[in-house]
Amino acid sequence: MKEFNLNKIKVDGTPASAASIAAPGSSETALMLPFEGSNNDTTTTDRSSTGHSITFNGDAKISTTQEKFGSSSLYLDGNGDYLSLAAHADFNFGTGDFTWECWVRFDSVTISGEYLFAAATGSSGFFIFRWDGGGGGSGNWSYGYSAGGNNWADTLSADTWYHVAVVRSSGDIKVYRDGVEKGSAWTHTTSLYPSAGMFIGKSHYATFYGVAGYLDDFRMTKGVARYTSNFTPSTSSDYTAAVVGSSTKHIVVDSDGTGAEEGDLKEVNNRITKAWINFNGSGTVAIRDSYNVSSITDDGTGKYDVNFSTAMSDINYSAVVDGKYAESGDGAANTYGSLRRIATATSYVGVRGVGGTAASNFNDLTTCTVIVFGN
């Protein structure tokens, strides 16, 4: 079965500019790290369409001790732990819009500085970090680049999950914590490209400034300002919500990916083929091609059970069936064939072939097709 191109899927239902927000696998999503894995894993998978290689450094690891979504997150101890990525055109943000976001849970909020993300451009770069300006968690979020930056005051607590988003929209930088804009926008139209690579959890300077704590659902979006005003952060993973579905998100699909159909995922699922098969039912049954079909049971002349690999949720599905009695003689008056649905179960659908010179003849058919829709 041909895999559907995720570049043709867009997600609707998020708070800002919903029509332009792209799914995790789309070309706009430059990086998507859900940090799912087994405890102490030192690899992770980028779920963007490019699938960038991620290098774990120091003692950086996947941990099942804490998670915002799923069953794990990334843990960094602030002492030599970080992730690194090579330079790539996906991260050439230029002067356009972008969104960098993640969930973070700091072990402490009194550390002088912790870089969530930094990009190196030779001896300089651009970055977002948290620093403790006044002690006791009364500090700032700082965004900067080689020629300047800006600070946004905030108050944080240790051992608490926060959603942090840095957004550039039409040249204005905004920082959101838990969906609430901190301070005012800062104008920054400089072209940004990390020609010397990127880091998650440390600075691009000689001084490390590492994060001590957990990160989850790290996402970078190129060319899209996902948030332009206060919003409510998603209550499920941005990756799984967009792919698996939630009550607040819609999938929008049409032939060229610009969007024509929309609805919640259950509604869309009801329109998707759940199983199909093309097989030769004459003599020894032979499957030509199929999807979600494990096998064919030959129950006698012209009688077949199509067994599903993954069972239907109930028996109220629809099966479209068709058949041909002979490969030769197409169009001749004395040769025809049809396939009838005769049995229904969640694990299989039963069909019966009719063909020959009379409608009452039960016969093996040379071409049989079954397509199943439902839950």
For residues 84 and 205, membership in a common domain is answered with yes
- What is the residue range of 90's domain? 6-268
Residue 263: its pLDDT value, please? 41
Where residue 268 falls among pLDDT bands split at 50, 70, 90? very low
The answer on pLDDT for 331 being more than 70 is: no
The answer on pLDDT for 255 being more than 70 is: no
* CATH for 319: 2.60.40
For residues 245 and 220, membership in a common domain is answered with yes
List pLDDT tens digits, range 3-46. 444 444 444 443 333 333 444 444 589 999 999 999 999 999 99
Q: Taking residues 320-333, what's their average pLDDT?
A: 64
For residues 195 and 314, membership in a common domain is answered with no
Range of 120-124, 203-207, 334-338, 362-366 with top mean pLDDT: 362-366
For residues 204 and 320, membership in a common domain is answered with no
The number of domains in the chain is 2
pTM exceeds 0.75 for this model: no
Nearest CA among 45, 56, 121 for reference residue 82: 56
- Residue 192 DSSP symbol: B
Name the domain boundary from 217, 238, 268. Answer: 268
List pLDDT tens digits, range 167-214. 999 999 898 999 999 888 888 888 888 888 889 988 876 667 889 999
- In a domain, residue 1? The reply is no
For residues 87 and 212, membership in a common domain is answered with yes
For residues 19 and 69, membership in a common domain is answered with yes
Name the domain boundary from 218, 252, 268. Answer: 268
For residues 220 and 361, membership in a common domain is answered with no
For residues 120 and 224, membership in a common domain is answered with yes
For residues 207 and 110, membership in a common domain is answered with yes
The answer on pLDDT for 89 being more than 70 is: yes
- Residue 70 DSSP symbol: T
DSSP string, 238-306: HHHHHHH--TT-EEEB-TTSS--B---HHHHHTTSEEEEEEEE-SSS-EEEEEESEEEEEEEETTEEEE
For residues 176 and 119, membership in a common domain is answered with yes
User: φ, ψ for residue 32 (rounded to 5)?
Assistant: -140, 110
